[in-house]
Structure 1
Amino acid sequence: MKLKTSELKDFLDEKVNLYNNPKFIESDPIQIPHQFSKKEDIEIAGFLAATIAWGNRKSIIKNANRMVELLDHSPFEFIMQYQDADLEKLIPFVHRTFNGNDFVQFVKSLQHIYKTHNGLESVFSKYAEKDSLQISIHEFKKVFFEIPHLERTQKHVSDPFKNSAAKRINMYLRWMVRNDNNGVDFGIWSSLSPSQLSCPLDVHSGNIARQLGLLKRKQNDGKALSELDAALRNLDPKDPVKYDFALFGLGVFEDF
């Protein structure tokens, strides 16, 4: 399907309007942070839900709800005040290759970030570039694992410097930074701008982007992400990742 740039923009803008609304929340992991109103709870619940956001969406949502339950429905309070004995109940947790030991490590690393680095937002904004957060993601991973940690847990935080598309972290950043005025994305990180975001690139968005001529590269990796970013910034430099709703919706809901 080859459209002129203006036609493609009109087509995708229409799909953004169709999918970027509260109905989207019902079948998406973004419903997990939507259970909370406090900034830190939203950040932490969102980060944990995004971390396990691969595989079947029903099981992602079920297991992310389980994570919140294990943190006593108060993620920030749990992370800041836990005793070692409180962590034992996390050990049986499992979602695909993310297990209870990884979960415990995430709780410890998150506490370290809030106690030592002034929270998640400040880590990401500290290393942000004018038009990209990919260096931020790389630096965030270093900060996340600067305390003693299990080697195996490192694979659950992507690194763009290893040519990863870092789909889940880019999705998380969209949730936190983009204020869509439609009640889906939160827009609670005012130190960052939607123009710095990158599209969460996965099988669905990648396939649709290729069909629409937005992406030529075959693999869904860091290089493909740069290519897709450039194409989406061409359509809307201020809010390029709004098109994630269009690409995802066309792939998942319309079987485009």
Structure 2
Amino acid sequence: MSIDHSSLSDFLNTKADLYNRPSFIERDPISIPHQFSQKQDIEIMGFWSAMLAWGQRPVILKKAAELVAHMDGAPYDFVRNHEESDLKRFLAFKHRTFNATDALYFLHFFHQYYQSNESLEDAFLGTAAGGPGGLPEHGVSSAAYPTVAQALITFHDHFCCDPFFPQRTRKHIATPARNASCKRLLMFLRWMVRQDNCGVDFGLWTRLRPDQLVIPIDVHVNRVARRLGLLTREQTDWKAALELTEALRQFDSADPVRYDFALFGLGVEGEL
């Protein structure tokens, strides 16, 4: 499919505006954190919903809603103040390869983290209390990765450093250090960082900028981006995410990830 630069820019801008609106929310995992108004509730359920976001969307929404119910509709209060007996309700939780062991560690992490930190943003920036900070543990200098890549590696190391961390849970927290596409984490960052007045993304975090974000590549974005000639790398990995983001930057250098709405929407609706 061949479209000249000007026409493609107009096309993507039109589609981004079409799908970046509240009517998009109802069928998307972002609808789960939109049930809340407190920052920490949004962070907890935004992160957890994003981590569960693979498979059919109705199933994802059902399982995320199940987690909210298990936390008595108040995630932030629950993770800080639950009793050990309250954890029994999570023993039967399962979504694809995410099971009770993973759920219990997520709760443990949130409980420990929010005792001494106000926002999950600090875990990505290496400024959180009670965990590792500074450069990643993998011997990768900050110059070798864009800022968001370093943030993802820093968060991975923080999340996985607890003495009680189960190794099976590591597969749910992707990292550019393993050249993973990091689709679900990048989606979560889009929700937290992008700022506009469209009512979809939250824009709660300010120390990462929209122009630093990297686009999450799911099956729909992957297919449409390749069809439009925006992505040529054969593997769908971190390098592919960077390639696609750079291609989109030519249309909006300040907010390239806004085109996630266009590519995903076109894929879901089957317009191409």
Q: TM-score range by the shorter chain?
A: over 0.9
- 2-side partners of 1:108 and 1:186: how far apart? 25
- 2-side partners of 1:27 and 1:79: how far apart? 26
In the other structure, the counterpart of 1:205 is 221
Q: Which moved more, 1:212-221 or 1:16-25?
A: 212-221
Q: CA deviation at 1:83?
A: 2.1
Contact 1:203 1:220 in 2 (8 A): no
What aligned pairs does 1:1-256 form with structure 2 within 5 A after superposition? 1-126=1-126, 132-147=147-162, 148-256=164-272
The AA in structure 1 aligned to 2:13 is D
Kindly provide the CA deviation profile for residues 160-200 of structure 1, in whole angstroms up to 9, marking residues without a partner as x: 11011100000000011112211100111122211111111
| RMSD after superposition | 1.6
Structure 2 length-normalised TM: 0.90
Contact 2:40 2:118 in 1 (8 A): no
Kindly provide the CA deviation profile for residues 228-252 of structure 1, in whole angstroms up to 9, marking residues without a partner as x: 1111122211111000000000101
Kindly provide the CA deviation profile for residues 65-116 of structure 1, in whole angstroms up to 9, marking residues without a partner as x: 0011111111111111122221111110010010111001001112222234
Q: CA deviation at 1:118?
A: 4.4
- 1-side partners of 2:203 and 2:119: how far apart? 16
Structure 1 length-normalised TM: 0.95
- 2-side partners of 1:155 and 1:117: how far apart? 25
Q: Which structure: greater helix fraction?
A: 1
Give secondary structure in 2 for the equivalent of 1:95: coil
Kindly provide the CA deviation profile for residues 196-233 of structure 1, in whole angstroms up to 9, marking residues without a partner as x: 11111111101111111110012211111111111112
- 2-side partners of 1:113 and 1:142: how far apart? 14
Kindly provide the CA deviation profile for residues 108-132 of structure 1, in whole angstroms up to 9, marking residues without a partner as x: 1122222345431112234797953
Q: Which moved more, 1:169-178 or 1:246-255?
A: 246-255
The AA in structure 2 aligned to 1:182 is C
- 2-side partners of 1:69 and 1:88: how far apart? 13
Q: CA deviation at 1:133?
A: 0.6
Aligned length: 256
What is the identity percentage for the equivalent residue pairs of Structure 1 and Structure 2? 46
Any gaps of 5 or more consecutive residues in structure 2? 127-133, 136-141
- 2-side partners of 1:155 and 1:231: how far apart? 29
- 1-side partners of 2:117 and 2:238: how far apart? 27
